[in-house]
Amino acid sequence: MLIYEYMPNKSLDSYIFDHTKKKLLDWPQCFHTINEIARGLLYLHQDSGLRIIHRDLKASNVLLDIEMNPKISDFGMARSVAGNEMGAKTCNVVGSHGYMSPDYTVDGIFSVKSDVFSFGILLLEILSCKKNRGFVLQDHNLNLLGHVSTV
Q: Which residues are catalytic?
A: 56
Nearest to 128 by CA among 70, 59, 57, 36: 59
Pair 54, 121: CB distance under 8 Å: no
Query: In the 8-state DSSP scheme, what is residue 6?
Result: P
Report whether 1 contacts 65 (CB < 8 A). Answer: no
Q: Which residues of 102-130 are buried (b: 16+ CB within 10 A; e: fewer)?
A: ebbeeeebbbbbbbebbbebbebbbeeee
CA-nearest of 4, 87, 77 to 45 is: 87
* Nearest alpha-carbon partner for 63 in 130, 117, 2: 2
